[in-house]
Structure 1
């Protein structure tokens, strides 16, 4: 069966455009999707097809990360084809029965099929399967990974959802605990919690996914500090960040994305536990743009500056679970839609956890360079450069009933 697929792909290969030199900046684009991409999210699927060359574009689907690669590959190809592509599934997946993933990754016919396509789409799953399949045991690139870089450098699009998004940066989360707090409380282990990604976005930007739905903005902070990143992009589910060759990012999809800027942040290394001061957190809504080079924001169509005169009065803004589903966005929106300057959120684990008395206080503060935009309906917000400080705190355990 595998030989038949490879033969069919080889017959489909057309003459490739001239390849860009390995040292040249990529002329292609990235579509980084935070997971949970729905079949009906036409804006994202159509964008991938358009960047791959438009109607009739050949797009290679890599279900490498998937637990069920046949199913996931077929679904992704069908979604792309419904929007005008000629997608084909590359049989490169550790979970594909009867396949030797290392031989497939170095198959010349498959590499040529990928190289001459207009784009590539990585499905979700386990990102360790992607890097494990595309890199040889000695760390060198397989033929298919070299083909991906050729496609990207000459102007093709590389898209990925969930695990396919995680591999976009040079460092990725590899096998971290499912919950966020243990990474803040106990630190990260290189080679276990984090490991090298594929680095398509460059060495200066850290990428994470499932951001708002799983409260993962907080786990980005220790990873960025450990590896020296000052800029992080966190994409929510059913949403994409499109990175153009100019390094301008645009957001499309159901919700939005978080930008973390640690350029002026400091940490007190004399303290035993994780802490951070003077970071900046921003929320980009659908239609917003952001320059990776200039770190400048452009609000999307229909956005207007928030009028301070109409702000809601609040005595205080305090969240007891800042890592809950969409909690950080809810807090940011209520903060900028109020007359408050600061808001506070806490993060603790349950009594059965390791060191349950230890947790963190997250303080969000409006600063002179903070910018806030909303639509006339005030249900779509863009929030730029809120100061973020994190400090370790303790809660008395066990808790007692109030008298």
Structure 2
């Protein structure tokens, strides 16, 4: 895998899943932004350059790729973006097709849908497709890699692949593997608030205490610029788990299936308009990228 020494010039957008695609029933609108046009997909379009953006939707993680692809095509069309196509990549061989590599080189950005994050790693890791994504993300201003649910979880170099929320914080209940490494200093989890995944993200961070855990609520995400500055977008919450100050931590020697004990986690709760500096591990409130507080 190609590595880059400089901070990425592109933008990463990780979404917790179930983002408003213009299909939420009216009764549920109280839990989401008042207007679909102000939501996450619109923000993705804006980050990619507006209505003329060339967006490639990648449905590889899904077991229903045709249905999901059609849903995103309709949603982006409603938002005025016409140059949207779906890449029907189901196996590693598909990712090597010259047509898809050419389209990837011409795209303003890509959108990975939900499904199984392990499939994304199996299909793309180390391929020419993966290398083009990494190169464009690190070297091209304005290039966007977006992903929702599994598409977000696969973005980090250490990836949560499974684990029961009810058994979290019992040694070994959370399954971890390598991810696509667009973001190397965090671990993402999705559907975070609704599915009660706090414990499993804590275990993942306790296992890798120099990573920042980012729990993404549904219809909520983070926009990461320069590989470091997080802006919260969407209608729900983002939970940040920082393990840098952990003191006691029995994760390395506890027997499988036994309870973990961890001292001095730091947790931040971010909503729309909040920012977080990953490198400095600082939280800030504001509607613009702020001067970071001491």
| TM-score scaled by length of structure 1 | 0.62
Show structure 2 runs of 5+ residues with no match.
23-35, 288-292
Contact 1:206 1:229 in 2 (8 A): no
Query: Which structure carries more relative contact order (alpha carbon 8 Å, separation 6+)?
Result: 2
1:120-269 paired onto structure 2 within 5 Å: 120-135=110-125, 141-153=126-138, 154-155=140-141, 156-174=143-161, 176-177=162-163, 179-188=164-173, 193-202=175-184, 204-245=185-226, 247-269=228-250
1:3-402 paired onto structure 2 within 5 Å: 22-40=4-22, 41-42=36-37, 43-85=39-81, 86-93=83-90, 101-135=91-125, 141-153=126-138, 154-155=140-141, 156-174=143-161, 176-177=162-163, 179-188=164-173, 193-202=175-184, 204-245=185-226, 247-269=228-250, 273-300=259-286
CA distance in structure 1 between the partners assigned to 2:85 and 2:249 by the alignment: 51
Q: List, as ranges, runs of 4+ consecutive aligned residues in structure 1 with deviation greater than 4 Å.
A: none
Contact 1:52 1:118 in 2 (8 A): yes
CA distance in structure 1 between the partners assigned to 2:67 and 2:122 by the alignment: 21
- Aligned-residue Cα RMSD (Å) equals 2.2
After TM superposition, give the deviation of residue 74 of structure 1 in Å.
1.7
Higher Cα radius of gyration: 1
After TM superposition, give the deviation of residue 23 of structure 1 in Å.
4.2
* Deviation sequence 1:57-84 (CA, Å, 0-9, x none): 0011000111110111121122223323
| TM-score scaled by length of structure 2 | 0.84
Contact 1:115 1:150 in 2 (8 A): no
Contact 1:57 1:118 in 2 (8 A): yes
Distance 1:164 1:50, change over 3 A: same
* Deviation sequence 1:54-110 (CA, Å, 0-9, x none): 1210011000111110111121122223323311101102xxxxxxx2221111221
CA distance in structure 1 between the partners assigned to 2:171 and 2:115 by the alignment: 26
CA distance in structure 2 between the partners assigned to 1:224 and 1:187 by the alignment: 13
After TM superposition, give the deviation of residue 186 of structure 1 in Å.
3.8
